[in-house]
Structure 1
Amino acid sequence: MRWKTPASALLALAFLIPAAPAVAQAQSPGLDAACQTVERKVYKDIRSLYTIDLDTAAIVEVRLLAARILHEADTNKLTVLPGALQERLNGTSDDLRAFLKTDAQRIWTTDLRIGVGQTMTGAGVNVRAAAQKTLDTGTVEAFLAYLNDGVYAARALDCAAQPTPTPTSQPTPTPSASPSATTTVAPTPSSSDSAGASGGDGGGLPVTGADTATVASVGGALLLLGGAGYLIGRRRRSRFVA
């Protein structure tokens, strides 16, 4: 006989019938592999869910037990158990009952071992050492203790041992000189100007322009007067001799 009840309906019905009483304990936050604070993943011991006698229990009770186990397996993201259990839920009641009696806990233990091994990927020295010790022990109790507490304690040690990153000092950009007002540079006097400026006893400037023309006119007039005086004087001398 095959059951066609949807798994979601079974799961809802499963929580209407409480399992073994358990005290819920608030878990403190832990660190993930990147040393970020996260909520801890709690691995429930599915053995505590076995509150019925699988040999004599009604099929409804068997399927409710299977639904509770499937919920925990999905919550913990186990590797093998969710698919195997869902396959039995889709099968016959006898197959499901036999699976819960003989295979479910064995596969669950294998999934816990896989979970312990997965925490070693890229982990620090403390996590790797604690995980290897757990795998060497090989018991369900050791797996649960490590996954619920041990890995977080070891990870805290690894994160605390990491060096604090030193902020890289950025070079302060040197402010570029802002363009200032244009500065007019006085032209350097040429050699000809220097020579003219240094002429004469007083080192004065050469006479140019209208002053030069006046001097030339006066000089010409003096020359004419001198020539005229020379001629007059010579003529008088000639007359005196005669």
Structure 2
Amino acid sequence: MSWKFPAGVVMALAFLIPAAPAVAQTEPSGLNEACQTVERKVYKDIRELVTIDLDTATDREVRVLTAQILAVANADSLPILSKAIQERLNGTADELRAFLKADVQQAWSVDLRITVLRTLTGAGANVKAAAQNALDDGAIDTFLAYLNNGLYEARALDCASQPTPTPTSQPTSTPSATPSATTTVAPTPASSTSVGGGEGGGLPVTGADTATVAGIGGALLLLGGAGYVIARRRRSHFVA
């Protein structure tokens, strides 16, 4: 039962180990799926953590190394590797040593493949092509190269090829047409009144129409007077 205490110690070390090997580092900024500038996520090469000879290392060294790998797996969201390590922590040091020598890279490779597949969601043509090349190769180095660099380079190409959105012009407020005052045309006296003051209390005709009527009347009087004089002369001449 003495192995249970070291297992608990290893679980604690996974959270207490210095952040440098555990937390995913960041590099110069890159673009995310929405073409927004973000910090790049760098996936740690777990093989760089193995600085001891697993065949000659002490049990304590093996468990410390296991805690470091577990911390990286948690930081990089590698669920398969994290679960596998936690299961092995309940075994003996020799079982844990054998796992580190033979099975760590296999579980890690599966996690990296899944991570590459996740980048295909909503990806552009360049990202899809780069991801497919990495999946076809299947090597851990290829997965890491894609996730740490190739993904961002391909995404930059996809974002650059997208059409620039045309800014929508804000509708300018046009002043509403001022309602023009309705011009009321006053009826002329000639059209609104009856000649000679007919029914309805119309006013008598005045102005230019009155002068015309008066002129015609005067001419008729002159014609009548001339006719009267001519007729009278003829009558007088007949009597004589």
The answer, yes or no, to whether TM exceeds 0.5 is yes
Post-superposition CA distance 1:9-45 (Å, at most 9, x none): 31365449x98xxxxx972111111111111111111
Where does residue 86 of structure 1 map in the other structure? 86
Q: Which runs of 5+ in 2 are unaligned?
A: 198-203, 212-240
The answer on whether the counterparts of 2:10 and 2:63 sit within 8 Å (CA) in structure 1 is no
Query: Would the alpha carbon gap of residues 176 and 70 (structure 1) be closer, same or farther in structure 2, given more than 3 Å must change?
Result: same
Greater Rg, structure 1 or structure 2?
A: 1
SS at match of 1:115: helix
Task: Measure the CA separation in 2 of the matches of 1:15 and 1:186.
Answer: 96
Q: What is the deviation of 1:189?
A: 6.3
| Cα deviation, residue 123, structure 1 | 0.7
Aligned-pair identity in percent equals 58
Alignment-derived partner of residue 215 in structure 2: none
In structure 2, the residue matched to 1:64 is 64
Letter in 2 for 1:5: G
Partners of 1:14 and 1:56 in 2: how far apart? Answer: 22
Query: Residues 177 and 13 from structure 1, CA distance in 2 versus in 1: closer, same or farther, beyond 3 angstroms?
Result: closer
CA contact (8 A) 2:31 2:156 kept: yes
Aligned to 1:42: 42
Shift of 1:184: 8.5
Separation (CA, whole Å) in 1 of partners of 2:62 and 2:208: 134
Shift, 1:163, TM fit? 0.4
The 3-state SS of whatever aligns with 1:29 is: strand
Q: Residue 144 of structure 1: SS of its match in structure 2?
A: helix
The amino acid across from 2:4 in the alignment is: R
Determine the structure 1 residue equivalent to 2:96.
96
In structure 1, the partner of 2:29 is 29
Residue 147 of structure 1 deviates from its aligned partner by: 0.9
Say whether 1:10 aligns with 2:13. Answer: yes
| Contact 1:13-1:64 at 8 Å conserved across structures | no
Match of 1:44, SS state, is coil
Shift of the 39–198 alpha-carbon distance from structure 1 to 2, 3 Å rule, reads same
C-alpha contact 1:80 1:111 (8 A) present in aligned 2: yes
| Residue of structure 2 in register with 1:198 after alignment | 205
> Partner of 1:122 in structure 2?
122
Count of residues in correspondence between the two structures: 197
Does residue 112 in structure 1 map to residue 107 in structure 2? Answer: no
**Matched position secondary structure for 2:132:** helix
Matches within 5 A, 1:123-142: 123-142=123-142
TM-score by length of 2: 0.69
Q: Distance in 2 between matches of 1:36 and 1:51?
A: 38
Aligned counterpart, 2:233: none
In structure 2, C-alpha distance between the alignment counterparts of 1:46 and 1:35, rounded to whole Å: 29
Q: What is the distance in 1 between the residues matched to 2:178 and 2:10?
A: 76
Residue of structure 2 in register with 1:213 after alignment: none
Point out where structure 1 has 5 or more consecutive residues left out of the alignment.
20-24, 205-242
Secondary structure class of the residue paired with 1:157:
helix
CA RMSD in angstroms comes to 3.1
For the residue of structure 1 that corresponds to 2:66, the secondary structure is: helix
Secondary structure in 2 matching 1:27: strand
- Cα distance in 2 for partners of 1:12, 1:172 equals 59
Look up the match of 1:219: none
- 1:2 aligned partner, one-letter code: K
Letter in 2 for 1:72: V
SS at match of 1:60: helix
Measure the CA separation in 2 of the matches of 1:200 and 1:159. 86
Q: Which residue of 2 aligns with 1:165?
A: 165
| Corresponding position of 1:225 | none
